[in-house]
Amino acid sequence: MKISELLDDSLIIDELEGVTKSEVLQEFSKLLYDKNVVNDKDALARILFARESLGSTGIGDGVAIPHGKLKGLAGLVLAFGRSRKGVEFDSLDGGKAHLFFLLIASEDAPGEHLKALARISRMLKNSEVRDSLLKATDKKEIRTIIAKREEDGR
């Protein structure tokens, strides 16, 4: 399973409109609903907020990986969003989050969910990847950066 294969261009938000954690999570929920990925945006938002109440998914270095499990989902769903201004996300390092990978899995697929989280986290530990994603000019370049990182295996 490759992150670049999970990420569809239609689920990339080049510049998030939300300026708060709540707004960003609502924006992702609306996107997945509008693209017919989920049939209840409010249920998805509740799941994301519930996960955040356990501890922030802002992992630091400008990255957040909000995630959760949703009943009835066919497989893994990955969305990406970017905020050049940054969003206060209660990140572990106290900094703003700029890069967001939203991962939603079926309730009965915990193994794939954890593997994808680990892959995303590992990829984003590389400062060159983070910088490239922040500077990317469009959705195609974002996907290309992710795919190249996976090919290089660095």
Which residues span the domain enclosing 59? Answer: 3-152
Q: Are 139 and 8 within 8 A, CB to CB?
A: no
Q: Is the pLDDT of residue 1 over 90?
A: no
Q: State the catalytic residues.
A: 67
Q: Is the pLDDT of residue 108 over 90?
A: no
Instruction: Give me 140's structure tokens.
Output: 């195609």
Q: Is the pLDDT of residue 15 over 90?
A: yes
Indicate which CATH number applies to the domain containing 10.
Answer: 3.40.930.10
The count of domains in the chain is 1
Q: Are 107 and 38 within 8 A, CB to CB?
A: no
Instruction: Give me 103's structure tokens.
Output: 């991962």
Question: Tell me: the pLDDT tens digits for 127-144?
Answer: 999 999 999 999 999 999
Helix (H, G, I), strand (E, B) or coil at 109: coil
pTM of the model: 0.94
